[in-house]
Every structure is written in structure tokens, then in C-alpha cells.
Amino acid sequence: MKIRVGFGFDVHQLVEGRELWLGGILLEHTKGLLGHSDADVLLHAVCDALLGAANMRDIGYHFPDTAGEYKNIDSKILLKKTVELLADKGYTVGNIDATICAERPKLKAHIPLMQETMAKVMGIDVDDISIKATTTEKLGFTGREEGISAYATVLIEKNN
């Protein structure tokens, strides 16, 4: 069995008049994330970690933000397509560990649904996806609620 690790990071700006999609679910909040897609920063970090683990470039390489077909796209579709790109190379997802940096909203209560949603999209066990949340103690752009960032580490596997 060959195993590889990958790391992903993403940031999106918080603005008024947009929905807040995080971890594949819609959250109630006064602002939402701005992007070409639904701007689900956690799913984008996970896509980048998966692509990085397989040495397959990054999310913008496969799904350019200049392409009309990805305008306002549900990032769950991009995550599913990413898992399929890895499957074409013989890789399956081992486990994922991710952190969302957001001053608000409180995410704790929503994390189980994010885990279930993402696990279903990726075809993995809920137990194989860990999602954590932290504030940045009011420091920096996340602390000022100007944006939300996310980090993800993944392990992928392939039979030799």
C-alpha cells in the first residue's frame, strides 16, 4: 500500500448579501463568503489537500474561476469531481483533518452535519473526517470578520 499526504489552505472574503456555505451546508449568518463558486472555503481547502497529495496541481487548475460552468457552483460538486480525479489515478481517501478559522458564527453545533455531508460526497466514513473550528482571538482578517480561512490535511492511499 502506497500512502501520501497533502495539505490545503483557502481564504474567502465575508460580505453582505451572500449565503454562508461551509462544509457543504448552509449556515445562518449576517454575511456570506464571496467567490466565483459558492465559496465554501472548507471544501476548497480539502480539494487542494487531495490534489496536492496526488501531485495533481490545485483547484483553480481543474476548475478555473474564469469558466462560466463553475459560476455559483455548489462546491460539493467540485469535491466529488476531485475525489473522482484521484480515483482515476487509483487513489482513495484515507482520512482528513481540517480546521476552520472564523470569529463567527459559532460552528461547534454544525460540525457533525458538515462531517456527514462531506463523508457522503466523498464516499468515506464519517469517522475519517475531522473538522475543527477556532477563532483567531479577534486578530487579523478572520478576527475582524473580514473573511474565513480553512486548512486541511489529508492522507490518500493506493495499492501498489
Ligand X SMILES: C[C@@]1(CO)OP(=O)(O)OP(=O)(O)OC[C@H]1O
Query: Which residue of 96, 133, 150, 154 would you call a contact of ligand L45E5XJ5, by CB under 6 A?
Result: 133
Q: Which residue has the cell 474561476?
A: 65
Ligand-binding annotation for 10, yes or no, is yes
User: Which residues contact residue 79 at a Cβ distance below 8 angstroms, ignoring those fewer than 6 apart?
Assistant: 24, 43, 46, 47, 118, 121, 122
Asked whether position 21 contacts ligand X by CB under 6 A, the answer is no
Asked whether position 70 contacts ligand X by CB under 6 A, the answer is yes
Question: Measured from the CB atom, is 108 or 127 closer to ligand L45E5XJ5?
Answer: 108
Quote the DSSP letter at residue 70. G
Tell me, residue by residue from 1 to 20, as one string, x for binding to ligand X by CB under 6 A and - for no binding.
Answer: ---------x----------
Query: Which residue of 57, 81, 89, 106 would you call a contact of ligand L45E5XJ5, by CB under 6 A?
Result: 106
Part of the chain binding ligand L45E5XJ5 (CB under 6 A), chosen from 11-19, 65-73, 85-93, 102-110: 102-110
User: Which residues contact residue 137 at a Cβ distance below 8 angstroms, ignoring those fewer than 6 apart?
Assistant: 143
Query: How far is it, in rounded angstroms, from Cα 17 to Cα 33?
Result: 9
CB-count exposure of residue 89 (10 Å: 0-12, 13-18, 19+):
exposed
Ligand-binding annotation for 65, yes or no, is no
60 binding partner (options ligand L45E5XJ5, ligand X, none; Cβ < 5 to 8 Å by kind): ligand X
